[in-house]
Amino acid sequence: MKTILPIQWKNDILILLDQTLLPNEVVYEEFETIEGVWDAIQVMKVRGAPAIGVSAAYGLYLGIRNATERDFPSFYEELTIKAAYLASSRPTAVNLFWAINRLKQTAEQNKHLPISEIKQLLLEEAITIHHEDEEINRNIGENLLTLLQDGMGILTHCNAGALATTKYGTATAPMYLAHERGWNLKIFSDETRPRLQGSMLTAFELQQAGLDVTVITDNMAAVVMSQGKINAVIVGCDRVAANGDTANKIGTLGVSILAKHYGIPFYVAAPTPTIDLETPTGAEIPIEERETSEVTHRFGIATAPENVQVYNPSFDVTPHENITAIVTERGIVKPNYQENLVKVMKRP
C-alpha cells in the first residue's frame, strides 16, 4: 500500500509530516525538543488521536533524554513535569495521556536500574507504541471488513486515516485493505469544517493511494444518504467513554443522527488506546475549543465579519445509542457497551 508516513523516528530525531500544508505541499519537519513536539501537536502539524499519542511518546523521551538527575526520585519528578507539559498540548484525544502514562509506567517498573538505562527503555517504549499502532490499525481494518461488502458506498467524516495514525488509519483501514483485495468501495469524504480535514487530508491520502473517493460538502450528508449512495458510515474517535459515548471531530454527532434516520449502520473505528474506561460517559469528556480564526478565516481571507462572536468546539460527542458497533483491533463491540467494552479491554 502506497501511503505517506506522517511519523518517522530516525537517528534520534522525530520527523513529522506538516499536515497544515497538505494537500498543496508535502513537507517533513525535524523535531529534537519536547517544546517543538508540543507546538506540533497544538497547531496540528501532527493530529489524529493515534498520531498524537505516538508523537507524544517520542516528545516525552526528547524532553527527558538530557536530564541530569542521578537518583530515581528526582529523575521521576522531572519526567512527571515534562509529562504534564506535554499533556497540556490538547485535551480531548485520550491517546496523548495513554502514551505518556505508558512511559511513566516503564520508568516506575525499572526504578532499580541506572538512569541511563531507564532513558533507553523510555525510547524503546516509544518505538514499541509506534510499531504497535500499525498492527492495531490493520486489525481494525480486518474486523471492519467483516461488516462491509464489495461495491458499498461509505461515508467518512474528518480524517481518521493514515495521516491520523502511523499507517492504514482506523476508519480508512478497511478501505485500504479492500483496495488491496480488489474491492471497489465508493468512499464519500465530507469536507469537515472548519479545518477541512476530510477534503484536505482524507481525500488527499485516498486519492494518492488510488482509491475511489468523492468529496462532498459537510451539509450534503443527508442528500447522499437519501439517494441511497451510502451503505455505511465509518468514523474515527478521540475518546470512547465507558458507556460507549464517543468524542470525535465536530459534526460527527450530526452525521450519526442522519444515519439513524436513514437506517444506515454507523461504525466507530476505535483502537483500544482510545477507549477510556475511567471516563464514565460522554458528558465527562473534555472538549477542546480552538481559536476563532479557524472559523472566521480560511487561507488568510476573512469569511465572517470582524470581531463577530464565534463558538468553535473541535469535537462533539455521539451518544452510544447512535452507534451500531465500536470496532476495535481486538474485536467488534456491540451494545451493551458498558459491559462489552470492559470485556474487549481484557482480551489480549
Number of residues that bind ligand LNRAV4D5 (CB under 6 A): 17
CB of 110 to ligand LNRAV4D5, least distance (A): 30
Give the CB-nearest residue to ligand LNRAV4D5. Answer: 236
Q: Does 196 contact ligand LNRAV4D5 by CB under 6 A?
A: no
Stretch that binds ligand LNRAV4D5, among 41-49, 110-118, 224-232, 294-302 (CB under 6 A): 41-49
Q: Does 170 contact ligand LNRAV4D5 by CB under 6 A?
A: yes
Catalytic residue among 133, 238, 245, 276: 238
CB of 224 to ligand LNRAV4D5, least distance (A): 19
Annotation says 238 is catalytic:
yes
Amino acid of residue 294: E
The residue from 49, 62, 118, 341 that contacts ligand LNRAV4D5 (CB under 6 A) is 49
Q: Is 170 in contact with 236 (CB distance < 8 Å)? A: yes
The Cβ-side half-sphere exposure at 84, using a 13 Å CA radius, reads 6
The Cβ-side half-sphere exposure at 125, using a 13 Å CA radius, reads 26
Q: C-alpha grid cell for residue 240?
A: 470512547
Coil vs helix vs strand at 236: coil
| Cα–Cα dist 137/146, whole Å | 15
Q: Does 48 contact ligand LNRAV4D5 by CB under 6 A?
A: yes
Q: Is 158 in contact with 188 (CB distance < 8 Å)? A: no
| Cα–Cα dist 333/256, whole Å | 17
Give the footprint of ligand LNRAV4D5 on residues 232-261 (CB under 6 A).
235-238, 248-249
> CA 34: distance to chain centroid?
20
Binding-site ranges for ligand LNRAV4D5 (CB under 6 A): 47-50, 158, 160, 164-165, 170, 197, 235-238, 248-249, 314
Which residues are known catalytic residues? 238
